[in-house]
Chains A and B, each alone.
Chain A
Amino acid sequence: MGAALADVVVVDLTTEYWGSLGAALLADFGARVIRVEDLGRGRVAPRAPRALHPDARYDYDADLVQRNKQGLALDLDDPSGRELLHALVAKADLLFTDWPADRLEALGLDPAGATRLRADLVYTRGSGFGPKGPDRELPPLDELAAARTGMMPILPQPGEPPVYAGAGPLYTAALLALGSLVALVHRQRTGEGQEVDASLYSGNLYGASLDLQAFLAMGGDRLTQPVARTDAGNPMSGVLYPAKDGRWLCLTMPDTDRWWPGLAGVMGLAVDDPRFDSHEKRCGEYRLELIRVLEERFACHDGEHWRARFVEARLSADVIEDFEHPATDPQARRNRYVLELERPGAGTIRTLGFPIFMSETPARLDRFAPCAGQHSAEILHGLLGLGEARIQELVERGVVA
């Protein structure tokens, strides 16, 4: 089977987790992603480096965010190193970066400079807060973006500290990949390149879609403050209830007319209970009463009991699990969301797989993260046509590793 992006060459100038992951999504589907590591003193350091757990036998973060890439290491403070990078960009379809604008400009790889090297280049850059506006140069830290999005205060129960969920980088990585693809498809038709941007802020705001849009349209205090678990708008949707063994249950049945007969049956309530016999009553006059009744009844049995009843009645409700569930779930394995494989030096390991299934061009794991410069010679020779002697000389001078 072929790869969706078999003819796409990407120069990957990324340092942040989310930037590297965005480029990895392209590599997973067959783009030749060349990760350039900067050996120069002016290199960009990650703003929020993630420490590996001390027990780790291998770099599991790199296994995800650098997988399927090729590694090239260049000293970009050296004119020869910059020249090689420029030659590489001239051969590339896409430049994918999360580096600060001033570093890129110093390298001659601001959008105008890069486009001079390759006129139809797709130039994708991720940032903290977007390419315009007063805060465009704030550091790209997801915590800062999440703090400005408005979700942190409303996630917990009232009175609890604001919650940082950490999902922003994942939205942003996928937005950068999607934007790149939109531009590549446009380029297929017209031959035109362009600039693509997304940011941690845009990712966080997108993740907050429905809450944010509701506030934009409806305003009011209720949407900007945490709502107590026992004060939900719809007792059958978006509410958590504790089971007898302390495990948490969640229900999502927005259209209560459709689901009420099934839920009433499972809970031992009369379908025609006059307090709850219409959507208006369940979500209006008797809303809090229904929450109270459900809370009381769920507390009578353990989580597993309720899961079995929910499955029987085909209700949209479940027990809340921890990571043990996906780690051992055959469904996650079967769909390659979690992979189990042999890793040199580490034995059998589990690693995150691919969130998109494609029948003709499936994602595949061709290689783990490259070491710095692992493919330098191959790239300089194969793609840029440098001879062995010249490469040797560059290595000796420390321009290439």
Chain B
Amino acid sequence: MGALDGIRVIDLTVWFQGPVAAQFLADFGAEVIKVERPQGGDQARGVRSIKAVPVGDWNQYFLVINRNKKSLAVDLKKPAGRAVLDRLVERSDVFLSNLGPELLASWDLGYERLRALNPKLVYATNTGYGAFGQVDRPSFDMTVQALTGLMARLGEPGQPPIYLGMGSGDAYGGLLSALGILLALYHRNRTGQGQMLDASLYGAQLFLTAPTLQAYLATGRREFAQQRSREEPENPTWNRYRARDGWLFLCVPNQDEAFAKLCRTLGDDALGADPRFAGADGRRTHARALVARLDATVAGRSVAEWMERWRSAGIAASPIGTLADAARDPQAWENDYLLETHCHEVDRQVAIRGFPIGLSRTPGRVESLGPELGQDTELLLADTLGYSWEEIGELKAQGAIP
């Protein structure tokens, strides 16, 4: 049984932010109907390579974020196609789209009209820059991330800004969109009242940099907006260090007792006695010198040796791993953060992202990976929407459905 059993969602989304919002709903049991154009469907079906590496025999980009969904192929450029969608709106709980507002308007899919069809509808959009205001520009993850200030403050001074990772902002926007939809559903279940909501890429990504942006808003201090060198940190013992065979993250608070304990594990008695590094202020003031000293010491042993010493001393630290390390981390598998499931496209088990949220009574589940384009069209029309087979034939003849 799923937490969201009985909730029907129209998922008129493409690429990543919208689809991943609907994926949360589908994972927890909602009936999510992905509405796609008959020619090609969601553009993400066309992804052929990532970072110049071919995607191989299954398009994981599309299939994982569209798991547990049905696919309805319908041509919304045709009046008969829009009539099909209207009937679906009357019988659904949620309408979600990340298409441009002008495209939705051209198909007459604005909130006011859909609300008239179904006053209890939760109508959710993912705009690029917010539901209000004049900005009307294409919005992909990175170009929006660029405007938040998030990228500009990361990396070593003089290096290019840092993009947080493919679709990282989309992933956050999708998460907030799902949260908004659940808030609206909760309210609707209590009051019977539907509403519209928007979780934009810009709004989400501003929130994604909350701690530093909030500090900047409050103080206006440039240092919060600028790149900061690893060699000049606020606290030199809470930092990244390179051991002989790889990097480590060391997390020692800037306190005398903790510093003394660290010095003992480093086997460097002189360090603990160095007057420059006595007291928290001293370590902060002489950060560069302390980092240089720690760089030299940490480089002398392997990651495993340091981890052994620090673990037994109760010092928090971690090797800085690669995606390959994460992919074989038992901690990730035991908590269902990673899963195996069957992929019908290649007829074998594949590894996928699992559930970042655990629910004890109604856990998420993966019943299928992303649907084939239009695979559920006829059944949905006949069973859910009550079209006769004659009418379905007519829709096909008109080209409204494939």
Contacts and interface: CB of A to CB of B under 8 A. Distances in A.
Contacts of A349: 217-218
A316 to B, nearest CB: 4
B218 A350 contact: yes
**Chain A, interface residues (CB within 8 Å), range:** 35 or more
Contacts, number: 505
Contact of A356 (B24, B46, B180): B180
Interface in A50-66: 50-51, 53, 55-56, 58, 60-61, 63-64
Given A153-B247, A155-B162, A162-B320, A316 B139 contact: yes
A122 to B, nearest CB: 10
Interface stretch (A32-40, A80-88, A131-139, A384-392): A131-139
A19 interface: no
A393 to B, nearest CB: 38
Contact of B353 (A63, A188, A206): A206
A148 B159 CA distance: 24
Contacts of A209: 20, 65, 166-168, 171, 353
B132 A229 contact: no
Interface in B171-195: 171-172, 175-180, 182-187, 189-191, 193-195
Nearest to A177: B179
Given A164-B240, A322-B152, 20 more contacts: A4-B187, A17-B211, A29-B183, A134-B330, A153-B322, A155-B155, A166-B211, A167-B209, A170-B208, A181-B186, A182-B362, A185-B4, A205-B337, A205-B353, A212-B327, A217-B55, A233-B52, A240-B163, A330-B133, A335-B133
Interface string B318-342: 1111111111011110110110000
A183 B359 contact: yes
B43 to A, nearest CB: 6
Contacts of A161: 156, 230, 240, 242, 247
Contacts of B156: 156, 160-161
A214 to B, nearest CB: 5
A215 B324 contact: yes
A25 interface: yes
Contacts of A141: 251, 316
Given A157-B160, A356-B203, A358-B197, A164 B249 contact: yes
B176 A60 contact: no
Contacts of A260: none
B206 A322 contact: no
Contacts of B270: none
Interface in B211-260: 211-221, 224-226, 230, 234, 238, 240, 242, 247-249, 251
A224 interface: yes
A286 to B, nearest CB: 13
B225 A222 contact: no
B323 A182 contact: no
B129 A331 contact: yes
B179 A213 contact: no
B212 A166 contact: yes
Contacts of B200: 335, 355, 357
Nearest to B189: A188
Interface string A158-185: 0011111111011100111111011111
Contact of A335 (B55, B132, B213): B132
A381 B196 CA distance: 38
A8 to B, nearest CB: 8
A41 interface: no
Contacts of A144: 249, 251, 316-318
Contacts of A329: 147
Given A144-B249, A207-B165, A335-B131, A139 B142 contact: no
A14 to B, nearest CB: 15
Interface in B348-394: 350-353, 355-362
Given A167-B208, A223-B51, A338-B217, A201 B58 contact: no
Given A186-B4, A315-B138, A337-B203, A216 B60 contact: yes
B141 interface: yes
Contacts of B194: 360
A355 B206 contact: yes
25 contacts: A60-B215, A144-B251, A150-B321, A151-B323, A152-B249, A162-B320, A174-B172, A178-B357, A181-B179, A183-B3, A183-B362, A186-B361, A196-B360, A198-B358, A208-B326, A216-B338, A218-B56, A218-B60, A317-B143, A320-B151, A349-B218, A356-B198, A357-B203, A358-B183, A361-B183
A359 B58 CA distance: 40
Contact of A157 (B111, B159, B184, B225): B159
Interface in A241-275: 242, 248, 250-255
Contacts of B137: 311, 314, 316
A62 to B, nearest CB: 10
B129 A211 contact: no
Contacts of A218: 50, 53-56, 60
B249 A143 contact: yes
B177 to A, nearest CB: 8
B326 A252 contact: no
A111 to B, nearest CB: 8
Nearest to B52: A233
